[in-house]
Structure 1
Amino acid sequence: MGNDKLIRDADGTLVPQHKDATGWVETGDAYPLPVRPLVAKEAWEGNADETKTFESSRRGFNIVNDGDADLTFTINGATRRVKASESYSGAFDPFTEVSIVTTVPYRAEVLA
């Protein structure tokens, strides 16, 4: 069963902790921050080079390469290659622009 009492160190001082389903849990030097899941915001399809700009920051990107040749995309200055018939999904530092370089069809989605 979980720990129902606050955790104290050897001197009786309360230590950083939080309560979860098991009871009080020591968290070390800092309290945990809640994690906000990524939420789908906009999806589109294409088959040519495109730069999309968003009014507010995005934090996630998914792309499916539906073609028979590689495509690339660039977010925050980093370019990644997606091979033919493969997909990519990732979380990024906030961004407002994604550039896709392709001659093949793709499906893409941004998340925030």
Structure 2
Amino acid sequence: MNERRQFSRILFSNQAQLRCQEVVWQTTLLDISLNGALVVTPAQFAPETRQLQLSFTLSDSDILVQMETQLVHQKDNQLGLACRHIDVESISHLRRLVELNVGDPALLHRELALFIDMHSPEK
């Protein structure tokens, strides 16, 4: 299988919420990257659109990370979410989380540059 992944994924089991308009589902975050996440499909999951807001609190803190996502795949009771937008505070916390788990500063800088390029307004 040809690996197309451009961002390092880190295993990160944590409680999270998915929101679609006014509907909120509780879920479990399985892994996270600078550009998306993998979560458990919530019970009675039936969004009206593929645009979902993912939010979770970092363990042992009150730091909330939020990102606007696009549902890109649903398979084996898991949802693959791609980041569409993330605020500066959330990306700062997420960057630190990835940095602590990747252990390679050069890789992190390369992924940050790619993330910025992919999410710049002129794209």
TM-score range, shorter chain: under 0.3
Give the TM-score normalised by structure 1.
0.28
Larger radius of gyration: 1
Give the TM-score normalised by structure 2.
0.26
